[in-house]
Amino acid sequence: MEGLRVVDANLTVYIHPSKARNSRHAILRQLSSLLFTYSEVFDGVILAFEVDIKSTCCKILPRLIPNFGAELKANLLLFSPMLNMLVEGKVVKLGKESIHAIVLGFSSASIMSEDIRKELKFNIKHGEEVFSSTSHKRHVIKVGSIVRFSVKRHQKRHREGNSEKDLLQDSDLKGNHYFERLNHPQKSRKRTE
């Protein structure tokens, strides 16, 4: 299927000092929080990762809330559909004017009536909704069928936490990437003179 790609990235993961005892677990937990979310830096949804932690020794970074910075190398599997790209999905719902499918088990797709081939007609056979072809008898689309379709448009959704922010910087995919998860929003300091 088109739209899947692997990216090599050098990452720096910031960890709270309370997680310093088991830094490997903290790093994997931070990276797991990125799964199935859209990342602007990588221009896609992160589906899987393989990590090589360079060292478990982390540097303390001076800030308002001090964090440890752990450097690692990661291979990321990304799903980033582009316009006119062919994608496969499993049909989960049929209607007179639309076909609804799930792509890769997490992303939903809708195929509207103007994008459905003219030879496919909506019918109800044996209490089951289907799109059947007028030219080929056995060509039937029903719930559970796998369909291949072209991407006309797509929406990018970001997962926002209550007070958490994901900050990714440096858009060069082969360069360094910085991931930071803050437990509290950063407060602005007022200068007093």
Distances in Å between the Cα of 45 and the Cα atoms of 57, 78, 79, 126 are: 29, 5, 5, 39
β-strand 86-94 against 98-103: which pairing, if any? antiparallel
- 3-class DSSP state for residue 27? helix
E runs forming strands in the chain: 4-15, 38-39, 44-53, 59-61, 67-79, 86-94, 98-103, 107-112, 120-125, 128-133, 140-141, 146-150, 166-169, 176-181
Residue 191 belongs to some domain of the structure: no
- 3-class DSSP state for residue 105? coil
Shared domain for 74 and 90, answered yes or no, is no
Q: What is the pLDDT of residues 46-58, one digit of tens each?
A: 889 998 877 666 6
**Residue 131 near residue 120 (C-beta atoms within 8 A):** yes
Residue 51 belongs to some domain of the structure: yes
**Residue 185 near residue 19 (C-beta atoms within 8 A):** no
Shared domain for 33 and 65, answered yes or no, is yes
Distances in Å between the Cα of 158 and the Cα atoms of 10, 36, 39, 93, 94 are: 22, 10, 8, 25, 28
Q: Angle CA(86)–CA(91)–CA(93) in degrees, nearest 5?
A: 135
Shared domain for 76 and 100, answered yes or no, is no
Shared domain for 139 and 176, answered yes or no, is no
Shared domain for 136 and 171, answered yes or no, is no
User: The domain containing residue 49 runs over which residues?
Assistant: 4-81+155-181
Listed ranges 64-68, 95-99, 102-106, 178-182; the one with the highest mean pLDDT: 95-99
Exposure pattern of 120-143 as b/e (b: 16+ CB <10 Å)? bebeeeeeeebbbeeeeeeeebee
Q: How far apart are the C-alpha atoms of 103 and 87, rounded to whole Å?
A: 8
Assessment of whether the complete model's pTM goes beyond 0.75: no
Q: How far apart are the C-alpha atoms of 136 and 11, rounded to whole Å?
A: 52
Shared domain for 139 and 71, answered yes or no, is no
Q: What is the pLDDT of residues 32-89, one digit of tens each?
A: 998 888 888 888 888 899 988 776 666 666 666 777 778 889 999 988 877 888 888 8
The token pair that represents 151 in the structure block: 């991407």
Which of 52-61, 143-152, 176-185 is predicted with the least confidence, judged by mean pLDDT?
Answer: 176-185
Residue 186 belongs to some domain of the structure: no
Shared domain for 159 and 76, answered yes or no, is yes
For residue 32, which amino acid is it? Answer: S
Shared domain for 115 and 130, answered yes or no, is yes
Shared domain for 10 and 71, answered yes or no, is yes
Shared domain for 115 and 133, answered yes or no, is yes
Shared domain for 120 and 58, answered yes or no, is no
Shared domain for 33 and 75, answered yes or no, is yes
Average pLDDT, the chain: 74
